[in-house]
């Protein structure tokens, strides 16, 4: 039997309902804040990610799914969303529209990663980008949008970890400072970090290997060399978020895994999945679009790992989403079966979710199935009920039943589900 590739998974009901609910919340919250959805290709020219994400990052160095097409062109399955959004922004001249542009995306990404809980090689991200605003207010709005998204999913236990990565001009000074600090402990670093120490010392701070974390625990932060302008910018972001009551934690080791970030960077870590499991990360990327050949247009954004978010959902929210809320229609006989098809169509048009019994089960077997599936109510009708224009509504939870006129069935359902 052919099985799915390692690192992928089948999302089956009722878990698929959780993904639908999370994505519906993203659409609702982000659109309310003026954002519009953008959909970019699943694969791009490899150069896009090398130039944007950074050649020395782990993503480019060992995690990308890269292949040659039939004409020998190097293509890569997208490992993250921001680079594709930036490319689409430039290629389609969105800079000619009023700025800032608020764009969000939902879709699969691909990285050849080490497997663990909440981490897959095909994974899903939900992201928001605000392109065309350089102010601290834009950063604060971005994080506020993230917080409102979490609130819509009924989270109450997340903290935003923040750091200042300074301006691009600060990076070489900090890299040299960090390299000098770490050279004395080089032998205690993992093999990857020994390579990173020469190529890009900031990547060492992002390593999750325990010995590397110990070596970098007291390393100097970017604030020691960051420009006054970048410090003032991030301090204002912190002040704005604090005024909104969003819990923050300063983390000088936070560097993110992408080279395009400057000034504000942030992450949200899942308490349920462990301190090394980042549910969301983002930051400011003022040079990304110009690095890709476009004008100097600033931006800020974030991406949420949807798979990890699903694993962290509050149990009450998850239970509410996966609870069966359909009317189960049980026709008894051939003529009632035809009526049942018409009734299902009419109820759907009125916004009532239904499931029609189409397996030919007896009433006893159908009621047993309804109980197993967790239906709250079933609608039973035979020729006798149809002759009188009624159906029998059986409440399986309360153990009651009553006849309801067919024309009143939708209203009866709405009265039941309305708070």
Q: What does the pLDDT look like over 236-260, one tens digit per residue? A: 999 999 999 999 999 888 887 667 8
CA-CA distance, 413 to 377, in Å (whole number)? 9
CA-based max dimension of the chain: 90
Give all strands (DSSP E) within 318-407, no chain letters. Answer: 327-331, 354-356, 377-381, 390-395, 400-405
Give the range among 46-55, 112-121, 173-182, 328-337 with minimum mean pLDDT. 112-121
CA-CA distance, 274 to 269, in Å (whole number)? 8
Angle, helices 334-349/409-417, rounded to nearest 10 degrees: 50
pLDDT of residue 273: 63
Q: What does the pLDDT look like over 350-390, one tens digit per residue? A: 999 999 999 999 999 999 999 888 888 899 999 999 999 99
Domain locations in the chain? 15-167+226-318, 324-417
* Mean pLDDT of all residues belonging to the chain: 91
pLDDT of residue 276: 64
pLDDT of residue 369: 93
pTM over 0.75: yes
- According to DSSP, residue 39 is labeled -
- Neighbouring CB atoms inside 10 A of 99's CB total 13
CATH superfamily of this structure's domain 324-417: Anticodon-binding domain (3.40.50.800)
Q: What distance lies between CA 223 and its chain's CA centroid?
A: 30
3-state DSSP of 144-163: HHHHHHHHHCCCCCCCEEEE
Q: What does the pLDDT look like over 312-346, one tens digit per residue? A: 999 999 998 988 788 999 999 999 999 999 999 99
Q: Which CATH number is 15-167+226-318 given?
A: 3.30.930.10
Cβ-proximal residues to 86 (8 Å cutoff; 6+ apart), any chain: 52, 131, 285, 288, 289, 292, 294, 299
User: In 3-state terms, what secondary structure has residue 98?
Assistant: coil
């Amino acid at each position: 039997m052919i099985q799915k590739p390692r690192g992928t998974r089948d999302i089956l009901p009722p878990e698929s309902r959780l993904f639908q609910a999370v994505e519906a919340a993203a659409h609702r919250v982000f659109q309310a804040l003026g954002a519009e959805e953008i959909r970019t290709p699943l694969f791009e020219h490899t150069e896009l990610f090398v130039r944007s994400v950074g050649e020395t990052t782990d993503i480019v160095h060992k995690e990308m799914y890269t292949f040659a097409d039939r004409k020998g062109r190097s293509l890569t399955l997208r490992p993250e969303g921001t680079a594709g959004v930036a490319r689409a922004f430039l290629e389609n001249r969105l800079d000619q529209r009023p700025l800032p542009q608020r764009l969000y995306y939902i879709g699969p990404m691909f990285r050849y990663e080490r497997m663990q809980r909440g981490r897959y090689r095909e994974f899903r991200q939900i992201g928001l980008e605000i392109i065309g605003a350089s102010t601290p207010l834009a950063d604060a709005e971005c994080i506020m949008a993230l917080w409102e998204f979490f609130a819509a999913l009924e989270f109450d236990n997340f903290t935003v970890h923040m750091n200042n990565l300074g301006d691009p001009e600060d990076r070489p000074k900090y890299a040299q400072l960090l390299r000098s600090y770490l050279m004395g402990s080089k032998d205690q670093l993992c093999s990857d970090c020994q390579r990173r120490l020469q190529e890009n010392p900031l990547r060492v701070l992002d390593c999750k290997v325990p010995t590397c974390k110990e070596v970098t625990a007291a390393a100097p932060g970017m604030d020691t060399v960051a420009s006054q302008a970048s410090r003032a910018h991030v301090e204002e972001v912190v002040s704005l978020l604090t005024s909104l009551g969003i819990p923050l934690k300063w983390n000088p080791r936070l560097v993110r895994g992408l080279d395009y970030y400057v000034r504000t960077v942030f992450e949200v870590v899942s308490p349920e999945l462990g301190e090394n499991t980042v549910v969301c990360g983002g930051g400011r990327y003022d040079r990304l679009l110009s690095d890709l050949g476009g004008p100097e247009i600033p931006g800020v954004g974030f991406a949420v790992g949807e798979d990890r978010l699903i694993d962290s959902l509050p149990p009450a929210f998850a239970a509410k989403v996966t609870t069966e809320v359909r009317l189960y229609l049980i026709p008894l006989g051939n003529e009632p079966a035809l009526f049942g098809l018409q009734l299902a169509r009419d109820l759907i048009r009125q916004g009532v979710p239904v499931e029609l019994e189409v397996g030919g089960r007896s009433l006893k077997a159908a009621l047993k199935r309804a109980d197993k599936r967790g239906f709250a109510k079933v609608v039973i009708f035979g020729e006798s009920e149809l002759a009188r224009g009624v159906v029998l509504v059986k409440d399986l939870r309360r153990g009651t039943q009553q006849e309801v006129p067919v024309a009143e069935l939708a209203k009866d359902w709405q009265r039941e589900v309305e708070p």
